[in-house]
Amino acid sequence: MKKIKRILFDHCESYIRERIETATQALSDNREALLQDSKSSAGDKFETTREMLQQEIIRNESLLEETKTMQASLGQIDLEQPFTDIQNGCLVKTNLGVFFLAMALGKTTHQHKDYFIISINSPLGVAFRGKRAGDQVSFNGMHYKIEEIV
């Protein structure tokens, strides 16, 4: 289980890196386009284009900030920390699947097996929080038996 925990953690890091690169590149492209845009004879078109570019810049800046917050949160996870109860950074094996509580990424597959990367602040993460091996959690009509916490 510790090996899969490392693999899922690395998947989260990779996702964050890609998201930062994408947002940074989009910001650079938008800023360059804004600088290159010159006043055309159609004044309204010029203003509309500039406004759309400005909105894209704001959206990408927000995306970048959100991603950096996710990165900081992920950076606080100690993969070697032993867990007795469910909290951020643990891997939880249940009768209905294996969950890594780190960030909201959803389902991922590794070697033909599904894993769920969820946030501790998601509704299911909140339902799991503080539970121990042997506990049961009912959520949205599903009954999870917590088998192991790593």
pLDDT of residue 20: 96
Q: Which two tokens stand for residue 46?
A: 């010029």
pLDDT band at 25 (very low <50, low <70, confident <90, very high): very high
Give how many domains the chain has, as a whole number: 2
- Give domain status of residue 85, yes or no: no
Q: For residue 131, what are the domain limits?
A: 91-149
User: CA 96, CA 38: separation in Å to the nearest integer?
Assistant: 58
pLDDT band at 58 (very low <50, low <70, confident <90, very high): very high
Burial bucket for residue 90 (CB in 10 Å: 0-12, 13-18, 19+) = buried
- 37 and 65 part of one domain: yes
- 95 and 46 part of one domain: no
User: CA 16, CA 8: separation in Å to the nearest integer?
Assistant: 13
